[in-house]
Amino acid sequence: MSTQSLTPKDLARYARHITIPEFGVEGQTKLKNSSVLVIGSGGLGSPVLLYLAAAGVGKLGIVDFDVVDESNLQRQVLFTVDDIGKSKSETAKKRLLGLNPNLDITVYNTRFTSENALDLIKDYDVVADGTDNFPTRYLVNDACVLAGKVNVYASIFRFEGQVSVFNYELKDGTRGPNYRDMFPEPPPPGLVPNCAEGGVLGVLPGIIGSMQACEVIKVLTGVGEPLVGRLFLLDAASFHTRTLKVSKNPATKIEKLIDYEMFCGIMPPSAETENVVKEISVQDLKSLKEAEEDYQLIDVREPFEYDIANLGAELIPLSSVITEIEKIAKDKKVVIHCKSGARSAKAIKQLQETDKFDNLYNLKGGILAYAREIDHSLQTY
């Protein structure tokens, strides 16, 4: 592909870049002729995409199958209330083209999987990982290693964030450390909650995502010193920072893409796992209520979620179900619910592993399904 030169409009638009002696016309021209695939357009993806678009990266790809939810708006600054329920990737493209219409933006409204990963990243110079779960994080890393792509990584949780540059091509032609050199194995399932369960300070993805975008720009232009072989850590609560050294691990071997759900201990639905956690539909719960049957209803969400909308259940947050196990009946049907059904299924598994419960039922679809199918007056979030 031939190199595109800067136009007079480009020179005017990116004048503040071009004025920087170390950056100049050469750096801006590299950005114009570069391509970045951003996986996820949420908390991290929002600032990454905004700043890469504003900086003039010529080609952007956005991988995101999700839709905008009201709870996203606390930190995902690409979106507004008018976007709720709409495709994140399509909405992001529209917003970015409004910021900079001179870009080539491709939307991939799909999950990033072992089947499509290598095909999705092959046409991009750099991959920016904006994911929020371990299976996809390991998949992004392994795909980048196999395809010889730089992986600009970041993650956030509560007040803490981290940034690094993985699989960077060094001057001698070898590659720098990758994510598996730092974390060969994922943490045990359930040990590290996701942002929905553990929360995240709204401004944190803006801070960390901007740093991630900065690293992408440094990689693309050759300006500055990227975070290669280093992991930057920020605690926003205290504003303490650390930079740790990351070294290559000779034992790290990545030969093919694998089943990352299984690798991270997250078993896909099967006949066996479905039998472990029994389910009840929202229609069944409605029938229980109407029949005035003796049953116990437990909500394992957080107190603030309960205050937004509830079914009149007894509140026992997921983090407390084991310590408050004596509150859970064994002599009648117990229906456990959360927002969507994921946390309540986890609660049931924990309870069944701890004690001999055979009367626990997960409310399929959670309070969202109840609001959608039974009580339209419930406030969803």
- Mean pLDDT (the chain) is 91
Q: What is the pLDDT of residue 273?
A: 41
Which residues lie below 8 Å from residue 369, measured CB to CB, with a gap of 6+? 281, 282, 340, 341, 363
Say which residue the tokens 């009149």 belong to: 312
Phi, psi of 108 (to 5 degrees): -120, 95
Q: Indicate the pLDDT class of residue 188, thresholds 50, 70 and 90.
A: low
Let me know if residue 23 belongs to a domain.
no
Q: Residue 110 — very low, low, confident or very high, per pLDDT cuts 50/70/90?
A: very high
Same domain? For 237 and 132 the reply is yes
pLDDT at 270: 45
Q: Which residues contact 313 (CB under 8 A, 6 or more apart)?
A: 297, 298, 299, 337
Q: Are 161 and 234 in contact (CB under 8 A)?
A: yes
Tokens of 63: 């991988």
Q: Is 28 contained in some domain?
A: no
Which phi and psi angles does 6 have, rounded to 5°?
A: -75, 135
**Residue 1: band (very low, low, confident or very high) from pLDDT cuts 50, 70, 90:** low
Residue 9 lies in a domain: no
Domain count, the chain: 2
Q: Which of 144, 195, 214, 264 is catalytic?
A: 195
User: Which residues lie across from 360 on neighbouring strands?
Assistant: 334
Residue 356 within a domain: yes
Does 275 share its domain with 241?
no
**pLDDT at 189 > cutoff 80:** no
Which of 101, 10, 110, 32 has the alpha carbon at shortest distance from 66? Answer: 110
Range of the domain at 340: 271-373
- Please choose, from the candidates 45, 46, 58, 49, the residue with its C-alpha nearest in 3D space to the C-alpha of residue 14: 58
Both 196 and 53 in one domain: the answer is yes
State the pLDDT at residue 377: 86
Examine the residue annotation and report whether 144 is marked as an active-site residue of this protein: no
Residue-wise DSSP of 206-248 = HHHHHHHHHHHHHHHH--S---BTEEEEEETTTTEEEEEE---
Tell me: do 99 and 189 sit in the same domain: yes
Q: Tell whether 58 and 130 lie within a shared domain.
A: yes
β partners of residue 39: 63, 129
Does one domain contain both 187 and 315? Answer: no
Q: Determine what percent of the chain is predicted with pLDDT higher than 70.
A: 94
Q: Tell me if residue 195 is catalytic.
A: yes
pLDDT tens for residues 245-284?
A: 999 999 889 999 988 877 776 655 443 444 478 999 999 9
Indicate the residue among 237, 263, 289 that finishes a domain.
Answer: 263
Residue 17 belongs to a domain: no
Bridge partners of 361, per DSSP, are 278, 335
Length of the chain: 381
pLDDT recorded at residue 73: 92
Beta strands in 44-197 (DSSP E): 59-63, 104-108, 126-129, 150-157, 160-166
pLDDT at 3: 86
Residues 143 and 41 in one domain: yes
Average pLDDT (202-215) is: 97
Dist CA 28 CA 246 (whole Å): 30
- Whether 199 maps to a domain, the answer reads yes
Tell whether 16 is covered by a domain.
no
Q: Give 314's strand partners.
A: 298
Which spans in 227-281 are helix H? 260-263, 271-276
Is residue 313, in this structure, part of any structural domain at all?
yes
Residue 272 is predicted with a pLDDT of 42
103 and 63 in one domain? yes
Q: Which of 241, 263, 285 is a domain's end point?
A: 263
- Split at pLDDT 50, 70, 90, the class of 161 is very high
pLDDT of residue 274: 43
Cβ distance 83 to 196 under 8 Å?
no
Please tell me which residue in 144, 214, 264, 338 is annotated as part of the active site.
338
Residue 195 has pLDDT above 90, yes or no: no
Quick one: what percent of the chain has pLDDT higher than 90? 73
> Within this chain, do residues 240 and 120 fall inside the same structural domain, yes or no?
yes
Instruction: Please name which of 81, 74, 85, 14 lies closest in space to residue 46, comparing C-alpha atoms.
Output: 74
Q: Give residue 296's region: left, alpha or beta (phi > 0; psi -120 to 50).
A: beta
Residue 132: band (very low, low, confident or very high) from pLDDT cuts 50, 70, 90:
confident
Q: For the residues 279-306, what does the mean pLDDT come to?
A: 91
Tell me the per-residue pLDDT of 81-109, one tens digit each, with 9 for 90 and over: 999 989 999 999 999 999 999 999 999 99
**CATH (domain of 302):** 3.40.250.10
Are residues 171 and 83 part of one domain? yes
350 or 193, greater pLDDT? 350
Model confidence at 43: pLDDT above 80? yes
Q: Which amino acid is at 38?
A: V
CATH of the domain at 224: 3.40.50.720
The C-alpha atoms of residue 56 and residue 9 are separated, in whole angstroms, by 12
In the chain, the amino acid numbered 87 is S
- Residue 112 and residue 224 share a domain: yes
Mean pLDDT of 69-91: 93
Does 305 share its domain with 248?
no
pLDDT at 271: 39
Domain limit, last residue, from 214, 244, 263: 263
